[in-house]
Structure 1
Amino acid sequence: MTAVAADRIESAAQAYSVAAQLATEFGQEAAARDRDRRLPVAEVDRLAASGLLAISVPAAFGGADVPPSAVAEVVRLLAVADPSIAQIPHSHFVYLNLLRLAGTADQQTRYFGRVLAGARIANAQSERGGATVADIATTVRPVGSRFRIDGVKFYCTGSLFADLLAVLTRLDDPEERSGLPAGEYIAYLPADTPGVRIVDDWNGIGQRTTGSGTVAFDEVIVEREQLIARSAAVHAPTGYGAYAQLLHAAIDAGIARGALTAATEFVRTSSRPWFESGVARAIDDPLLIQRFGELSVAVTAAEATLTAAGAAVDAAVDSDSATTPADLAARASLAVAAAKVLADRAANEVSAALFEVGGTRSAAADLNLHHFWRNARTHTLHDPIRWKYQHIGRAVLHDNPPPLHGVI
């Protein structure tokens, strides 16, 4: 991909306005893009050109420096319209945050500058074959004064649209020739680096146009300045995991709102009342009114909890706070865990209930209303909410803070 020329956004309010405008545009063809698996190349170009992808760049480097809560709201607005487009920049924002927390001044100048100019970052993180998702087989090895990356990554969301890849690697240097400490490193490298192969093979039932395919690395050579150790961000009370999870919750809350909006429009315009209801319009059926009230409460609760979680993450990344970083990070992770639970519930419940309230007509394949449920069911598989309950429960009963591993 070639970075597009990007506008500059200067405030959260401006970001919301631009996101709402783009969401209106993107929503018009979202169901058709999903049905035909038509990749949103032009739409992602528009997103990059709008300046929204640079809103979290620190002010010292020329960005709007909006807080995590504002980034989450932008993501939520986009997800209401098209959850696939909303998910594409998730890793982009996460790895900008890693750069902020753990990059050198030279690395920050270089990569923040590229993003301000319109560049897009995608992840190459997850792998298959390990005992758990936390096992990383992709290695970075010293080769003379440089390094070599070898491995295969899966579920690389946004890779088809990326200018830069953020590659999670494990340092393989038993003789300590590199002088680097052992651990995991993120390599920031151009997507067209020799030895990189991006494969369009994502075939999930939902989020079908996220470009979440396979990326292979075969003797990919990188410089030392392209590597950033994860430990400073992930294994310290930085709010790194809470920030990433907040954006996932925003996607789910957006899906829930989008599904409720679609259900409302369908029942208003296309549904017939059940004959026993004694009413002429479906929207006057008291049982449907009751159900819509229940669904609206689920969505509103998810959105309200997302807002509260955003405020907690903002506090965790605010270095001027008087509260200890460990306490703030723990509060943020627990608040986001609660938001993730409610957003997961709402997205799956409302997207399934769309057919319950819409009736048989809503199941027509050409309408593709099931893309809301498929998107919710697929995206909510990222981080199981059963473990969110565990961390919340341990904090309540034992005063145990959540762990520092980047996924809570």
Structure 2
Amino acid sequence: MTAVAADRITSAEQAYSVAAQLSSEFAREAALRDRERRLPYAELDRLAASGLLAITVPAAFGGADLPPSAVAEVVRLLAVADPNIAQIPHSHFVYVNLLRLAGTPEQRQRYFGQVLAGGRIANAQSERGGATVADIATTVRPTGTRFRIDGAKFYCTGSLFADVLAVLTRLDDPDQRSGLSAGEYIAYLPADTPGVRIDDDWQAIGQRTTGSGTVTFDGVLVDRDQLIARDAAVRAPTAYGAYAQLLHAAIDAGIARGALTAATEFVRTASRPWFEAGVTRAIDDPLLIQRFGELSVAVTAAEATLTAAATAVDTAVADTATTSPDLIAQASLAVAAAKILADRAANEVSSALFEVAGTRSATTDLNLHHFWRNARTHTLHDPLRWKYHHLGRSLLHETPPPLHGVI
């Protein structure tokens, strides 16, 4: 466990206030951290100590039990300042949610307690080499009274900063010695478990400080009570996937707002007017004013659609008594629409920043291109074309979206 004395947040309003304060702090050196690839260890300590990472812990276990909409707004506020820091706890919130949906009472008590104390969870989920991203080669197999994990994971965002790794595995037990049902399991294990190796080898053009490197597992031993069957969350109507995708949309919306804010400040203070405009200040160029209006609409639309999607996910998650498939489907489709608009706004505005700000904005010392690099990298998580597809099928065929979690 990280030695962090975490505060307790008790309301959405308090969470927003704390997130806004941290966002202001994190923004000051975001471009410098990106340029130097300075990993945000101190910033993550601040985030953990703030209590924001525990805002979804259920009230029965001592948490604020805030809804998805509150988490999305916290993530968006952080992403305006530094989308790297905003993305790092994405999997943390997702796997806290998995505990809520599928963990045993004992597992919830243990891991929720760690989260309340400032503990951080990171993912070890994606793999390379399979026919598709959905193919999982990392295995968990019974050995004596315990289980052994072997495999390699990539794009393990936040793993460098984590106390606990949530490892996606496939049960390898043809003789059914374990008594577990076939399928995929998430193993929750301390990041310093023997046999775990975390490599700082992330080399993408953007999101450079997310700690999204490689994690390998060589004969890692875990106990039965560290395993949670994933089917309870992803093969049933639970809004698990909509929740996770909502947070991705929040990151993109935050990037769009951050890029627009940076462009506005630069044009106000540093840009020169184009001579044909016949004005002395760039901000008085009528064509530039119109372009800023267009960019503002793109960002405002992304934020408004994010809010609407968050409300839909809140409604679906709150419907625990009946678990209505219709509400789950509506939430997934609302999030798909929000993700599309946030993706488009993040990429458009971060690119248009240079168009409106002029040549001076392209200097490497300013590193304003980190907005575009972050947007371009983060929005590669899942293709928009399939979101359009599921939205279209819903209209034409009245077909609900699938439950696989990346709509």
TM-score by length of 2: 0.99
2:259 counterpart residue number:
259
1:109 counterpart residue number:
109
Q: Is the 8 A contact 1:31 1:369 kept in 2?
A: yes
1:368 aligns with 2:361: no
Distance apart, 1:406 and its partner CA: 1.5
2:304 counterpart residue number:
304
- Structure 2 unaligned spans of 5+: none
Identical-residue share of aligned pairs (%): 84
What amino acid sits opposite 1:41 in the alignment?
Answer: Y
- What is the total number of aligned residue pairs between the two structures? 407
1:353 counterpart residue number:
352
CA distance in 2, matches of 1:14, 1:329: 28
List structure 1 runs of 4+ shifted beyond 3 angstroms. none
Distance apart, 1:5 and its partner CA: 1.3
Distance apart, 1:307 and its partner CA: 0.1
What amino acid sits opposite 2:363 in the alignment?
Answer: A
Matches within 5 A, 1:23-38: 23-38=23-38
Match of 1:131, SS state, is: coil
What amino acid sits opposite 2:380 in the alignment?
Answer: L
Matches within 5 A, 1:192-231: 192-231=192-231
1:70 counterpart residue number:
70
Matches within 5 A, 1:117-128: 117-128=117-128
Q: Give the CA RMSD over aligned residues.
A: 0.8
CA distance in 2, matches of 1:76, 1:256: 10
Distance apart, 1:261 and its partner CA: 0.0
| CA deviation vs aligned residue, 1:119-162 (integer Å, no higher than 9, x gap) | 00000000000000000000000001110000000000000000
Matches within 5 A, 1:359-398: 359-398=358-397
| CA deviation vs aligned residue, 1:194-248 (integer Å, no higher than 9, x gap) | 0000000000000000000000000000000000000001111100000000000
Match of 1:369, SS state, is: coil
CA distance in 2, matches of 1:406, 1:145: 32
Q: Is the 8 A contact 1:3 1:120 kept in 2?
A: no
Distance apart, 1:3 and its partner CA: 4.0
Match of 1:304, SS state, is: helix
2:49 counterpart residue number:
49
What amino acid sits opposite 1:174 in the alignment?
Answer: P
Q: Is the 8 A contact 1:3 1:163 kept in 2?
A: no
2:181 counterpart residue number:
181
Q: Is the 8 A contact 1:263 1:358 kept in 2?
A: yes
CA distance in 2, matches of 1:146, 1:406: 30
Distance apart, 1:184 and its partner CA: 0.2
What amino acid sits opposite 2:181 in the alignment?
Answer: P
Inter-CA distance 70–280: structure 2 relative to 1 (3 Å threshold)? same
1:338 counterpart residue number:
337
Q: Is the 8 A contact 1:166 1:186 kept in 2?
A: yes
Distance apart, 1:4 and its partner CA: 1.1
TM-score by length of 1: 0.99
2:400 counterpart residue number:
401
CA distance in 2, matches of 1:54, 1:166: 17
What amino acid sits opposite 1:330 in the alignment?
Answer: A
CA distance in 2, matches of 1:22, 1:367: 22
What amino acid sits opposite 2:366 in the alignment?
Answer: L
